[in-house]
Structure 1
């Protein structure tokens, strides 16, 4: 299915990447909020957004870093790409190790190290849950915007966006479903707020995020919530991202199939 995609503004000074089936303008379709990895609404997330639109939905990826169409300088697209290349040069274990990252930064030319260090600080620090605000605004906009007026809205997120997809499930009682690709689970105290089914998709090697999943599943079950999940053998974090060395084609293809089936159940074709 051919899709039309464009950048648009929404809510109070937010922007996002909107994709929908070609020729569906003015038609009310179910919608999917696509929530970014830490890199932002980069070419990969734009491609994923178009893939969900090709399933027959309005798909919308809010840029969680932008305000009034502009990102802070440390989160500018070219700075993020430079930082991504830097992290790709390190062993995966160093990503979450501030000392190892700093040692690698110190080996760079001073100006480059300061530039990348500033972007790392912007990406890895701060209140990430606050980024749920544009996600909530995006879901509300999809329901109410003239020319969209989605009858149902679901969310899917990756990494940072996976955590935010779960947060949206906790904080948006109208959400029809949430898909969490290797994102942190909400706190147990938030579970009573979840009013929709949740699908979790994880990689076995992503221990930090995968090991807590059975406990979250039990907490969801004990509170009468719907949570299904799959953990792919030998798959690392970000195994769905086909632009990264972490990509695992077989797991990614099966995960997309599961996500599409979940959306079919929760949103309809």
Structure 2
């Protein structure tokens, strides 16, 4: 099995963007596109591996680097610095990842230099939770580029996102009329006003133990139903937030297996 992978730089709206692309080398192009939207950790090894998995399923799979500025990562947001934060969080139980008190207590046990770097990178990475409009613009730029790109011109585009990417995948469904479908893995949900502008089918996956996201799920389900939007979803028993990430302690193999099969079935229905 031979994949053709590369990082592509492209200009859109006066800005330079960076995006990982993957496809089967012998596949006839142009191909329908799966837009893989990163977790809070960026286009790390897990996201690149996942992008390759979609490419092996017969799609042009792309993962925009939302943290790149003019095609390059800032110093505090390099892959190496983010990996340090991920390694630190893996020493904590999943519920403590978003518990500031527990996190700070664990940070105090780190050597001073490491503690300062972890603080800086953690702050910069998680500041992106408040920058969704700017990150959304980068995704929309990618869709515009893909519409004219020789490997995908004239083909449909759908998105799948994880964590912060799940929220962005939903925002794409609400704001990007060229999107054929949206998959959300445990991302923050939309308001009733945002739901009103969704123009494509949505598929969602959630972990039973992800209480922060799930607190809003019943209202979202009801609002989607009232608005007449196409929405199917699964809530997996015993699964945490980030259950699909096989590099982290929250990984849940049963939930991931089922979600992967349903995601591919969804994409084959709406893209091919």
Question: Could you state the TM-score of these two structures normalised by the residue count of structure 1?
Answer: 0.95
Structure 1 unmatched ranges of 5 or more: none
Contact persistence 1:182–1:203 (CA under 8 A): yes
| Backbone CA RMSD of aligned residues | 1.3
1:144 deviation in Å? 1.6
Tell me which residue corresponds to 1:24: 27
Contact persistence 2:37–2:165 (CA under 8 A): yes
In 1, distance between residues paired with 2:120 and 2:154? 39
Tell me which residue corresponds to 2:120: 118
1:69 deviation in Å? 2.4
In 2, distance between residues paired with 1:249 and 1:4? 28
Structure 2 unmatched ranges of 5 or more: none
Contact persistence 1:177–1:196 (CA under 8 A): yes
In 2, distance between residues paired with 1:248 and 1:99? 26
| Number of residue pairs the alignment of both structures matches | 267
In 2, distance between residues paired with 1:139 and 1:253? 28
**1:166 lines up with 2:170 in the alignment:** yes
Tell me which residue corresponds to 1:15: 18
**1:156 lines up with 2:153 in the alignment:** no
Tell me which residue corresponds to 2:247: 243
Q: Give the stretch that moved more between structures: 115-124 or 6-15.
A: 6-15
Of 260, 263, 269, 2:264 maps to 260
Tell me which residue corresponds to 1:48: 50
In 2, distance between residues paired with 1:94 and 1:88? 10
Tell me which residue corresponds to 2:150: 146
Contact persistence 1:49–1:59 (CA under 8 A): yes
1:37 deviation in Å? 0.5
In 2, distance between residues paired with 1:29 and 1:128? 31
Q: How does 1:59-208 map to 2 (within 5 A)?
A: 59-126=61-128, 127-129=130-132, 130-208=134-212
1:124-149 CA distance string (max 9 Å, x none): 12423121111111112111223321
Tell me which residue corresponds to 2:6: 6
1:54-77 CA distance string (max 9 Å, x none): 111111000010122211111110
1:150 deviation in Å? 4.4
Q: Give the stretch that moved more between structures: 124-133 or 217-226.
A: 124-133
Contact persistence 2:94–2:250 (CA under 8 A): no
1:99 deviation in Å? 2.3
Contact persistence 1:31–1:150 (CA under 8 A): no
Contact persistence 1:205–1:237 (CA under 8 A): yes
1:87-127 CA distance string (max 9 Å, x none): 11122222112222222222211111010000110111242
In 1, distance between residues paired with 2:220 and 2:108? 39
Regions of 4+ moved over 4 Å: none
Q: Give the stretch that moved more between structures: 137-146 or 115-124.
A: 137-146
Question: Could you state the TM-score of these two structures normalised by the residue count of structure 2?
Answer: 0.94
Secondary structure of the 1:193 match is: coil
In 1, distance between residues paired with 2:212 and 2:192? 17
Secondary structure of the 1:13 match is: strand
